[in-house]
């Protein structure tokens, strides 16, 4: 894990009225293999999409660690090696349990927001030679259709106005800043690459500006 102290990217200007409105349900205990958490469901009032916060108590002398984790059925549930999502989720839960903070599990963001069926269609195009960006473009879909308005609204509702962001994606930081969430530090969420996801990660680094130093520093894992 790498800590980055470089400046937060410039915030994106977002009109206050554009932030999502969310309602939260009751907080319940969630015992897991990674530790004991408090879980709470949140509903986006406009879309009806339900999200989940998974929280561990924060130390008083540090900003909470926060991971915005986009739903990925293939990676999170079936441990697919085509992406790094499942391993990133495991890493995030372990770090949140240790350091305190929140994993926001954001539903409706499968395949960077294109949905499960389209993600599988994109996989088929990747098997014919396209990279993950080209596959979306060939389908006539956005490269990244995710929206973090609901995530920002949930963070505000939880009182998490200044955070340490567990992410390799500077765009998440700048977008949250535009919604009034202060990102005081970015913490790497990179996990070692595998033979099956190396090109995917290289594309995220080279074409989507993700910070992935391990691609150069570590050998590819074999399955």
Here the tokens at position 32 are 């897991």
Here the tokens at position 8 are 């937060």
178 and 70 fall within a common domain? yes
Residue labelled with tokens 């700048």: 174
Number of Cα atoms under 13 Å in the Cβ half of residue 23:
5
Is position 40 annotated as part of the catalytic site?
no
Q: Give the per-residue pLDDT at 61.
A: 86
Q: Is 160:60 a contact under the CB 8 Å cutoff?
A: no
Q: Is 142:136 a contact under the CB 8 Å cutoff?
A: yes
The low-confidence residues of the chain, meaning pLDDT below 50, are 1-17, 218-223
85 and 33 fall within a common domain? yes
Here the tokens at position 114 are 């294109």
Q: Give the H/E segment covering residue 165.
A: strand 162-166
88 and 168 fall within a common domain? yes
Query: Any known ligand binding at 88?
Result: yes
Assign residue 66 the CATH number of its domain: 3.40.50.10990
Residue labelled with tokens 């929280």: 55
Query: Any known ligand binding at 222?
Result: no
d(CA 185, CA 164): 5
In sequence order, what DSSP letters do the residues of 68-111 get, joined into one string?
EEE--IIIIIT--SSSSHHHHHHHHHHHHHHH-EEEEEETT-HH
Q: Give the per-residue pLDDT at 115.
A: 96
Q: What is the pLDDT of residues 47-97, one digit of tens each?
A: 999 999 999 999 888 999 999 999 999 999 999 999 999 999 999 999 999
Which residues span the domain enclosing 97?
A: 20-104+148-217
The answer to whether position 4 is within a domain reads: no
d(CA 133, CA 142): 9
- Active-site annotation holder among 4, 82, 107, 144: 144
- Active-site annotation holder among 44, 76, 131, 146: 146
d(CA 6, CA 123): 34
Q: Give the per-residue pLDDT at 213.
A: 82
Q: Give the H/E segment covering residue 198.
A: helix 198-208
192 and 125 fall within a common domain? no
Query: What is the Cα gyration radius of the chain?
Result: 17
98 and 172 fall within a common domain? yes
Task: Give the strand pairing for 162-166 and 182-187.
Answer: parallel
d(CA 44, CA 50): 6
Is position 144 annotated as part of the catalytic site?
yes
Query: Any known ligand binding at 69?
Result: yes
Q: Report helix, strand or coil for 35.
A: strand
Q: Give the per-residue pLDDT at 216.
A: 63
Q: Give the per-residue pLDDT at 221.
A: 44
């Amino acid at each position: 894990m790498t800590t980055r102290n470089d400046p937060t990217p410039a915030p994106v200007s977002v009109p206050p009225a554009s932030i999502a409105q969310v309602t939260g349900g009751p907080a319940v205990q969630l015992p897991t293999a990674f530790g004991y958490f408090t879980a709470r469901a949140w509903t986006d009032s406009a879309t009806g999409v339900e999200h989940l916060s998974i929280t561990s108590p924060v130390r008083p002398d540090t900003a909470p660690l926060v991971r915005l984790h986009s739903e990925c059925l293939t990676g999170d549930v079936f441990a697919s090696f085509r992406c790094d999502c499942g391993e990133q989720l495991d890493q995030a839960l372990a770090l949140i349990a240790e350091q305190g903070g929140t994993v926001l599990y954001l539903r409706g963001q499968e395949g960077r927001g294109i949905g499960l069926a389209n993600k599988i269609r994109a996989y088929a195009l990747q098997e014919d030679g396209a990279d993950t960006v080209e596959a979306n473009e060939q389908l006539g879909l956005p490269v990244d259709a995710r929206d973090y308005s609901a995530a920002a609204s949930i963070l505000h509702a939880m009182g998490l106005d200044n955070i340490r962001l567990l992410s390799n994606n500077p765009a998440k930081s700048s977008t949250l800043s535009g919604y009034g969430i202060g990102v005081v530090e970015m913490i790497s969420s990179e996990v070692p690459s595998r033979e099956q996801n190396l090109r995917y990660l290289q594309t995220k680094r080279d074409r989507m500006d993700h910070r992935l130093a391990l691609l150069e520093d570590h050998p590819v894992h074999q399955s």
